[in-house]
Chains A and B, each alone.
Chain A
Amino acid sequence: MDDATTQPGASPIPIAAGSERLAIGGLLDRSRMLAFTFDGHSYQGHPGDTLASALLANGVRLIGRSFKYHRPRGILTAGSEEPNALVELRTGARREPNTRATVAELYAGLSARSQNRWPSLRYDLRSLNAVFGPALAAGFYYKTFMWPVSFWEKLYEPLIRRAAGLGRGSGMPDPDTYEKAHLHCDILVVGSGPAGLMAALAAGRAGARVVLAEEDFRLGGRLLSDHRILGDRVSSDWAAGIEAELASMPDVRILRRTSVAGTYDHGTYAALERVSDHVAVPMPHQPRQRLWRIVAKRCVLAAGAIERPLVFANNDRPGIMMAGAVRSYINRFAVLPGKRAVVFATNDDAARTIDDLAHHGADVLAVVDSRPGPHAPVAVAAKSANALMITGGAVTKALGSSDLHAVEIRGADGQSSWLECDLLCVSGGWSPSVHLASHLGGRPRWSESLAAFEPGGLPPGMTVAGAANGQFGLADALEAGARFGLAAAADCGFSGHAVEQPAVDAESLAQGSFSSLRGARGKAFLDFQNDVTVADVELAYREGFRAAEHMKRYTTLGMATDQGKTANVNGLALMAELTARTIPETGTTTFRPPFQPIAIGALSGHHRGKEFRPVRLPPTHHWAKSQGAVFVETGQWLRAQWYPRPSEADWLASVNREVRTIRAAVGVCDVSTLGRIDVQGPDAAALLDRLYTNTISTLAVGRARYGLMLREDGFVMDDGTISRLGEHRYYVTTTTANAAKVLQHMELCQQWLWPDLDVQLQSVTEHWAQLCVAGPNSRDVLQQVVDAPRDISNAAFPHLSAAAITVLGGIPGRLFRISYSGELAFEIAVPAGYADLLVRRIMEAGRTFGITPFGTEALGVMRIEKGHVAGNEISGQTTARDLGLGRMLSAKKDFIGRVLSQRQALMTTGRPSLVGLKPLDRGARLRAGAHLIAEGADPVAANDQGYVTSVAFSPTLGHWIGLGLLADGPSRRGERCRAWDPVRNGDTLVEVCDPVFHDPAGERLHV
């Protein structure tokens, strides 16, 4: 029977054949068979099965290997708290690691594989880790792999990661979609056990909008797992009856397969709905999972309780299961998990397990009750099952490797004996599922009578009913659920009647306190998923890691994907025992969302790929595309970068041609990405005077001006143009990048700093399309577009003019004579819907002049040739003086940022300031980002004098040019510097010059 006697590589034999399915019973559709595979072997199950129940029904009990010691592991629980039975579900791109077999709903064609074993589940070579176990004790990583530091990344970590770890991701893009949705309701009921069903029923009957969220695919909770009688009905039938009534209520929404994962502020909850996890491939147009943001006025938490394992040597062997889970498998799934059973428990609840086992034909060999003295319900059950009853005893060791063979039982007299068995049901009592009640910081309270933490310090609007509140009795849970459901409805303004309580069969809830956990021999596990043993916590105690949070981090107890749902309380109890403190003195770990793992795909929803950050399209985008433009993402926008022609060898050829055409003739470019803000009101001028460093109020109607804005800290925030269209009306532009920020800033000034100003702001960025028409022939082109009798001659419409006009026979528009390129230029705005028409008309009108469309590259080249600053220079770290714009700081008025712009450190000489740069070797290329160093100085940080901010090949000058920030720059014109670029091996001598390379007198603007 021992694994070691069989040779690895022997022909694959199904691990077990023959059905363990009970002949009758269970909540299954026995008329249908579902074929599935596990590790390549074929099995059959029924609709209604989980993967775990179907495996057990086929006699498969060995499911995986553990994280650290590669110990064989089986199925411990029947719920979402499962630490052991983790599998890789599905294949190919849909492969999903670390899926709990206990919550994976069976479907036809399901394919699962065991994890963390090599070469196979039965013959795992790395289980040698268990032999060398002491080397892997708590704190092992910290102690062993510290030195030398470089070994960690290169040697230790890859080795450990290969040996430890759980399942493997697919490494391929997820083919499924995920979505996020919002849901608003009066009352959220979490959990559909007896308390949750009654809460939903009471609130639903009162007329409240109720959302009932159940993580399982079937409503009922423990009502499905236990064979109870409510009134005259079996518990699962009773649950189905309530569900039917809830389903008939129009304002009650049942979300099954939906796990509420987190409690957030003000009645906000996150919930994950597994929409398509129970089918092989999602239905067309259905997401795989849906992440709900549920906003509820009230919440009734009825999340139930989690049974605690008992701690003894080899308590992780397959065949050792929670007593409550055994009942789930028998009653709900019609599977008898073992034929020769021992029950080891600290409470009366285990009596039900004894009864169910015996009733369904298992041989209950012995019942071990850790409590001294006889306890009637357990003793009675043991007697009727004909089992040996041992009170005040304990199971001290399990025997078996990949399956349970026998247990060692120590009686109250201290004598030990061995008993052969294939199933050990354990129950250390139940812990209320307090997670969602604690996410906002409320600390759970220790209850001595329950020997468990119960919720304390509830989030506003939440009540807790049933087992989640320590009300473990069925009658109590039903009553509390109904009462809290009704109260929640009343809080939301709905009055209802008390729901009649069904009579329930007798129950006993007595449970013992914690028995001693310390000193277990061999490997006695506290945290199954992270392989944390009693010895690890004892080591943490000896080494001083005794606070709950220290113990957790030192031993990794509770840090696995199950977050220690079955482990934390036992770990705390052991530390309490070691430190001779009570459990509440020892503390509890902090509960944080999510309650269970959530795939990143569900968190991102549709925000994947291009939808992660959608681009905005300028209004002439489709026209630009038809012209063959090359596009670039600039901030949120997708903009035309240049317009290549077939004859052009590369991008530079295209950009050079565009620049030359504009400087010699005319070009057109969409500049609608600039932020535009309409500022209106009698105090518009006063507000703009405070926002901009220069005076705006002196601007005449019909005129435009360049403006500069500082932040309150005195650094430059943004620049743009301000055009006065009327006595009380201005049209201001912002840079593309800062459009949103500047609007927000202006709104703060308007509403908060100077609310007494009579002025209104409106973003018109998306309202107006704006085209730049630049070049000596730009007026000739626009004259064919602008409606008569508007005169745009130099005399009538000089540089920095602005006017409301009509174009193309009556389309409202605006015309600005402003220039970024340094040429005679206009910007013309029309409602965005006319942009396509306008650009086509402009191109037609310009054909005789050889007009070219141009993109952001040519725009950038021309602004560098003109020494205009842009985002590279307005970096948030530069002052107006740094940028050579000190003259724009008005001395005649106050403005935002004035005082702090005068801080001494910002006024001193030596700050890096704007200069132009030319390579001495005119054939050399300049690189933005290169550091500026005095000629002959060593390229070390101490000699750094600034850096190159922007570069371009200037077709106008015939060589590369650059702008840079150089210490004392303006006084160093004519000097030479080294532009040193270690990243791209650049080392170029440059000449410092005026930043305006082209037409420094600005004569071309005024023609």
Chain B
Amino acid sequence: MRIACCHCGTRGNEEFTYLGDATLRRPGQSFEPTPAAATTLPVCSASPSPPSPPGEVGKSTPQATDAEVLKWHDYVYLRANPAGPHRELWQHTGGCRAWLVVTRDTKSHEITAIEPARDVALSRVDAAHG
């Protein structure tokens, strides 16, 4: 394949590293307003609180809820396997090291769009704040 890096021009795919689906949204992406917000996470009440290993201060670690864990489970493990156009993350590791959002047809390998991942992500941040 040939990938047109937004900064370096068209290069062979051996210069790039593949990561995967660029449509996934990391849950709990917002770190606003302060780091202390994490401590207000509700303690999971449905499952018994697991004992902390001895000698550790894990007791004060905020507990994730089941719903939260499920959301994260999907984000980390679940992947669609589309036959057709797919937005995916590639990094130009052998070049400028920019992460790119590449829209590629998984059947034909036709690439229809390549955008800097940073720009895509920033427009998302702007949209969220707007």
- B114: Cβ under 8 A from any A Cβ: no
B71: nearest chain-A partner, CB-CB: A899
CB-defined contacts of B91 to chain A, threshold 8 Å: 744, 747-748
- A902 engages B98 (CB within 8 Å): no
- A971: Cβ under 8 A from any B Cβ: yes
Residues of A890-923 contacting chain B, CB below 8 A: 890-894, 898-900, 902-904, 907-909, 913
- B121: Cβ under 8 A from any A Cβ: yes
Interface size of B by CB at 8 A reads 54
- A755 engages B54 (CB within 8 Å): no
- B7: Cβ under 8 A from any A Cβ: no
Which stretch in A261-269, A542-550, A768-776 binds the other chain? A261-269
- A823: Cβ under 8 A from any B Cβ: no
Known: A899-B28, A913-B53. A755 touches B118 (CB 8 A): yes
A689: nearest chain-B partner, CB-CB: B35
Residues of A755-783 contacting chain B, CB below 8 A: 755-756
Known: A899-B69, A907-B50. A752 touches B99 (CB 8 A): yes
CB-defined contacts of B110 to chain A, threshold 8 Å: 460
- A751 engages B99 (CB within 8 Å): yes
- B68 engages A899 (CB within 8 Å): yes
Residues of B1-55 contacting chain A, CB below 8 A: 1-2, 12, 17, 19, 26-29, 31, 35-39, 47, 50-55
- B58 engages A756 (CB within 8 Å): no
Q: Mark B83-106, 1 if CB is under 8 A from A, else 0.
A: 000000101010001110000000
- B28 engages A894 (CB within 8 Å): yes
CB-defined contacts of A267 to chain B, threshold 8 Å: 2
The distance from the CB of B36 to the nearest CB of chain A, in whole angstroms, is 7
- A799: Cβ under 8 A from any B Cβ: no
- A266 engages B1 (CB within 8 Å): yes
Q: Mark A638-665, 1 if CB is under 8 A from B, else 0.
A: 0000000000000000000000000000
CB-defined contacts of B51 to chain A, threshold 8 Å: 909
- A295: Cβ under 8 A from any B Cβ: yes
- B78: Cβ under 8 A from any A Cβ: no
Q: How far is the CA of A439 from the CA of B93 in the complex (A)?
A: 28
- B81: Cβ under 8 A from any A Cβ: no
- A886 engages B38 (CB within 8 Å): no
- A927: Cβ under 8 A from any B Cβ: no
- A889: Cβ under 8 A from any B Cβ: yes
Q: Mark B55-77, 1 if CB is under 8 A from A, else 0.
A: 11110111110001100110111
B66: nearest chain-A partner, CB-CB: A904
CB-defined contacts of A889 to chain B, threshold 8 Å: 58, 61
CB-defined contacts of B75 to chain A, threshold 8 Å: 712
Contact residue among B35, B52, B125 (Cβ-Cβ distance under 8 Å from A894): B35
CB-defined contacts of A73 to chain B, threshold 8 Å: none
- B2 engages A881 (CB within 8 Å): no
Known: A886-B58, A892-B36, A899-B28. A744 touches B69 (CB 8 A): no
Contact residue among A266, A753, A894 (Cβ-Cβ distance under 8 Å from B38): A894
Contact residue among A266, A755, A886, A887 (Cβ-Cβ distance under 8 Å from B121): A755
CB-defined contacts of A893 to chain B, threshold 8 Å: 35-36, 38
The distance from the CB of A964 to the nearest CB of chain B, in whole angstroms, is 16
Known: A266-B2, A293-B12, A295-B2. A753 touches B26 (CB 8 A): yes
- B58 engages A752 (CB within 8 Å): no
Q: How far is the CA of A182 from the CA of B11 in the complex (A)?
A: 12
Q: How far is the CA of A748 from the CA of B31 in the complex (A)?
A: 17
Known: A265-B1, A748-B91. A902 touches B31 (CB 8 A): no
- A594: Cβ under 8 A from any B Cβ: no
A-B contact count (CB 8 A): 128
CB-defined contacts of A690 to chain B, threshold 8 Å: 31
Q: How far is the CA of A266 from the CA of B12 in the complex (A)?
A: 10
CB-defined contacts of B63 to chain A, threshold 8 Å: 902
CB-defined contacts of B99 to chain A, threshold 8 Å: 747-748, 751-752
The distance from the CB of B119 to the nearest CB of chain A, in whole angstroms, is 8
- B64 engages A899 (CB within 8 Å): yes
Q: How far is the CA of A157 from the CA of B31 in the complex (A)?
A: 64
Q: How far is the CA of A752 from the CA of B91 in the complex (A)?
A: 11
- A496: Cβ under 8 A from any B Cβ: no
- B121 engages A752 (CB within 8 Å): yes
What size tier do the contact residues of chain A reach?
35 or more
- A909 engages B50 (CB within 8 Å): yes
Q: Mark A699-731, 1 if CB is under 8 A from B, else 0.
A: 000000000000011000000000000000000
- A109: Cβ under 8 A from any B Cβ: no
CB-defined contacts of A747 to chain B, threshold 8 Å: 91, 97, 99
- B76 engages A900 (CB within 8 Å): yes
The distance from the CB of A913 to the nearest CB of chain B, in whole angstroms, is 7
- A400: Cβ under 8 A from any B Cβ: no
The distance from the CB of A940 to the nearest CB of chain B, in whole angstroms, is 27
Known: A881-B58, A892-B35. A744 touches B17 (CB 8 A): yes
CB-defined contacts of B122 to chain A, threshold 8 Å: 755-756
- A903 engages B69 (CB within 8 Å): yes
B50: nearest chain-A partner, CB-CB: A907
Known: A265-B2, A899-B72. A904 touches B53 (CB 8 A): no
- B53 engages A909 (CB within 8 Å): yes
Contact residue among B29, B53, B73, B125 (Cβ-Cβ distance under 8 Å from A886): B53
- A900 engages B58 (CB within 8 Å): no
CB-defined contacts of B38 to chain A, threshold 8 Å: 891-894, 898
- A908 engages B50 (CB within 8 Å): yes
Known: A752-B89, A752-B121. A713 touches B50 (CB 8 A): no
- A929: Cβ under 8 A from any B Cβ: no
- A904 engages B35 (CB within 8 Å): no
Q: How far is the CA of A177 from the CA of B109 in the complex (A)?
A: 34
- A902 engages B64 (CB within 8 Å): yes
The distance from the CB of B25 to the nearest CB of chain A, in whole angstroms, is 10
- A752 engages B117 (CB within 8 Å): yes
Residues of A833-889 contacting chain B, CB below 8 A: 881, 884, 886-887, 889
Q: How far is the CA of A689 from the CA of B38 in the complex (A)?
A: 13
B77: nearest chain-A partner, CB-CB: A713
CB-defined contacts of A460 to chain B, threshold 8 Å: 110
Residue with the greatest number of chain B CB neighbours at <10 A, chosen from A744, A747, A898, A899: A899
Q: How far is the CA of A976 from the CA of B50 in the complex (A)?
A: 26
Q: Mark A732-747, 1 if CB is under 8 A from B, else 0.
A: 0000000000001001
- B69 engages A894 (CB within 8 Å): no
Q: How far is the CA of A254 from the CA of B72 in the complex (A)?
A: 57
Q: How far is the CA of A900 from the CA of B51 in the complex (A)?
A: 17
CB-defined contacts of A432 to chain B, threshold 8 Å: none
- B109 engages A886 (CB within 8 Å): no
- A891 engages B62 (CB within 8 Å): yes
- A898 engages B64 (CB within 8 Å): yes
Contact residue among A293, A713, A892 (Cβ-Cβ distance under 8 Å from B39): A892
Q: How far is the CA of A886 from the CA of B58 in the complex (A)?
A: 6
Q: Mark A295-309, 1 if CB is under 8 A from B, else 0.
A: 100000000000000
Contact residue among B27, B55, B57, B64 (Cβ-Cβ distance under 8 Å from A884): B55
The distance from the CB of B65 to the nearest CB of chain A, in whole angstroms, is 9
Q: How far is the CA of A748 from the CA of B121 in the complex (A)?
A: 11
The distance from the CB of A447 to the nearest CB of chain B, in whole angstroms, is 25
- A970: Cβ under 8 A from any B Cβ: yes
Q: How far is the CA of A751 from the CA of B31 in the complex (A)?
A: 16
- A971 engages B31 (CB within 8 Å): no
Known: A293-B12, A900-B72. A881 touches B53 (CB 8 A): yes
The distance from the CB of A899 to the nearest CB of chain B, in whole angstroms, is 4
CB-defined contacts of A904 to chain B, threshold 8 Å: 47, 50
Residue with the greatest number of chain B CB neighbours at <10 A, chosen from A440, A755, A884, A908: A755
13 contacts between A and B (CB under 8 A): A268-B1, A748-B19, A755-B117, A755-B125, A884-B55, A886-B52, A891-B62, A894-B37, A898-B38, A900-B64, A900-B72, A902-B61, A904-B50
Sorted from nearest, which 4 A-B pairs have the closest CB atoms? A907-B50, A886-B56, A266-B2, A893-B35
Contacts A266-B109, A690-B31, A909-B50 known; 4 new A-B pairs at CB < 8 A: A293-B12, A886-B52, A891-B61, A904-B47
Q: A residues engaging B (CB < 8 A)?
A: 182, 264-268, 293, 295, 440, 460, 686, 689-690, 712-713, 744, 747-748, 751-756, 881, 884, 886-887, 889-894, 898-900, 902-904, 907-909, 913, 970-971
